[in-house]
Amino acid sequence: MSSRDHPIMQAIARAFPAAIVTYAKGHALIDPNPAEIAAMDIAGQRGGEYVESLGRTDFATWTQDEWKTFVARICGGYVDSLHDLRAAAAEGIEKVRGS
C-alpha cells in the first residue's frame, strides 16, 4: 500500500481538502498552515537565543544536556506559540459571540 492509499492519509484528505500533501521518501508531509509557520518562527527565535547564550554554534561541542535544552526550547516555543494563538482565537470568538 502506498502512503497515498493509507486510510489515515485518505481521512486527512477528506477532513482537510485544501491541505497540500507532499511525499518524501515514502512519508507524507502536510504543508504548514499560517499558525504553524508563525509557531516555527517563535521556535526558531527561542532556539537561536539559546545558541547565542551558549556562545558556541558547533553542535558537536555541545554536551548532551545542552542539546536537550536546545531541543526543549525549540519544541516548547512551537507548542507555546500554538497554545497562545489558539487562546487568542478563542478570545476573539468569544468577543464576537458576546456582541
Q: What is the pLDDT of residues 27-71, one digit of tens each?
A: 767 778 888 889 999 999 999 999 999 999 999 999 999 999 999
pTM over 0.75: no
Tens digits of residue pLDDT in 68-93: 999 999 999 999 999 998 898 888 88
Q: What is the pLDDT of residue 70?
A: 96
Does the pLDDT of residue 3 top 70, yes or no? no
Higher-pLDDT residue of 76, 2: 76
Spatial distance between the Cα atoms of 55 and 48, rounded to a whole number of angstroms: 11
Q: What is the pLDDT of residue 99?
A: 63
